A and B are shown apart, each in its own frame.
Chain A
Amino acid sequence: MLTKRIIPCLDVINRRVTKGVKFQNNVDLGDPVEMAVRYSDGGCDELVVYDITASAERRPIDIGMVREVAEAIRIPFAVGGGIASVEDMSRVLLAGAEKISVNSLAVRDPGIIAEGSRAFGAQCIVLGMDPVASPDRARFPSGYEITTRGFRERAGLDAVEWAKRAEQLGAGEIVVNSVDADGTRAGFELTITRLIAEAVRVPVVASGGAGCPAHLRDAFNLARADAAIVAGMLHTGEYTIRQLKEALHADGVPIRMHW
């Protein structure tokens, strides 16, 4: 049986992993390569590394770091932040990443999804999206609007419509990172995650709000996510990946238990 994936997220600023709430008040957590190795050895199923200030600083992604992570771990990882073109995607993949995550760039230029998918295959192209709840049902029938640039701007796109469009363009996976839940550790935003999971045929990854094993169980069982991103609950040392996996396994969730 295909197992549900647990994906630690490393938010990197100047080659240091940091953690903030809604991209504010960032705290230094450690070296990205050391943390990638620790989580990989600890049993995570995949990793995602975001160079979170690359795009704001208008500089390319830190390829040296991508390469060091690729040399250090033997599980798949995705890279996001600072991707501005198909050439950037190619550099990240050649450095040894498996997937590229695009978010704000894809909102500005949806064609990049199609170009990347044609060039490298849909399995390489992950659409990251940051939906926020909206009362304006006339404009946003799903009840969620897409934001960009680290939640700073509203894109004027309905979240479900955007997910369907990205799938048509060739995205191989969709990460639903809830603006309202991000950093709260109060649980994933299950409603929008489930709406997206129902709307597309590609895998959906829940992101934002993980604080305890039951939150992941609900993302898998209730929101029907195929994978879940976790950050703070691991970074603080409150949980190990093994503890998370043992709790989910005991709850009957299909989980990879041997690594």
Chain B
Amino acid sequence: MIAIVDYKAGNLTSVQLAFRAIGRDAAVTSDPSTILAAERVVFPGVGAAGSAMRNLAAFGLSDVLKEVAARGTPFLGICLGTQILLDCSDEDGGTPTLGILPGRVPRFQPVDRWDKVPQIGWNQMRIARLHPLLDGIEDGSEFYFVHSFYPAPADPALAIGWTEYAGVTFASMLGRGNVAATQFHPEKSGRIGLRLLDNFARWAPAAAP
């Protein structure tokens, strides 16, 4: 069973519907024991980092997520979920986050007035390294993004794919071991996004990070 972590940070319907579209049963849950027992865990989210961290604490899920990541369960962060996997976010005046992957989360600072924030829409990802979740997905494929902050991993080797926006090249997909994370929304990225989710549903990572 795939557990979609519900911590009241946005709408999880489209994540669940996307897994259903590829014939995978996925449960939306806030229950620590269900999440710990799941074969795979998806950690989505939209909204602000500060309230998301408070919600995780209120649901008693911060340590649960760290444990799931540490023990090798296939783990997929999406959007705000991805940002929260890093050490800290610049959002809400600086927010300490889970620290499952080393790095920080700055805000876009466009120099070009036409680079709007949030970035909304389809942008390309250049593949940085081969990864099982990208099986069958071409270099330069477009994915759907909605965000004002972006992941900046401490070690560029954590990047799985790079995307350019507002004068920066950021890690739009990153991870190590059993943890993978996308800044874009695979569940809203059409056929190519479904391929990534299907790859995740089959993924047997070698080891914990």
Contact = CB atoms under 8 A, between A and B. Distances in A.
A259 to B, nearest CB: 5
Contacts of A259: 190-192
Contacts of A4: 121
A258 B190 CA distance: 10
Contact of A203 (B120, B124, B141, B147): B120
A142 to B, nearest CB: 18
Interface stretch (A14-22, A52-60, A69-77, A154-162): A69-77
B118 interface: yes
Contacts of B17: 70-71, 74, 96
Contacts of B203: none
Interface in A197-239: 197-198, 201-204, 224, 226-227
A16 to B, nearest CB: 24
A3 to B, nearest CB: 5
Contacts of B147: 123
Nearest to B186: A74
Contacts of A258: 138, 141-142, 192
Interface in A1-15: 1-5
A6 B81 CA distance: 28
B120 A121 contact: no
A173 interface: yes
A226 B46 CA distance: 21
A121 B8 CA distance: 12
B122 to A, nearest CB: 5
A149 B116 CA distance: 29
Contacts of B133: none
A95 B14 CA distance: 9
Contacts of B123: 1-3
A147 interface: no
A172 B11 contact: no
Interface string B108-124: 00000110111111111
Nearest to B141: A258
A259 B141 CA distance: 9
B116 A203 contact: yes
A173 B142 CA distance: 21
A193 interface: no
A94 interface: yes
A94 B11 contact: yes
B190 A74 contact: yes
Contacts of B145: 2
Interface of B: 10-11, 13-14, 17-18, 20-21, 46-48, 113-114, 116-124, 138, 141-142, 144-147, 164-165, 185, 187-194
Given A1-B123, A74-B18, A76-B144, 20 more contacts: A1-B164, A3-B121, A3-B142, A4-B121, A71-B20, A74-B21, A74-B187, A75-B189, A75-B190, A95-B13, A96-B11, A96-B17, A122-B118, A123-B46, A124-B46, A202-B118, A203-B121, A256-B142, A258-B138, A259-B190
8 contacts: A2-B122, A3-B123, A46-B121, A71-B20, A74-B18, A123-B46, A201-B116, A256-B122
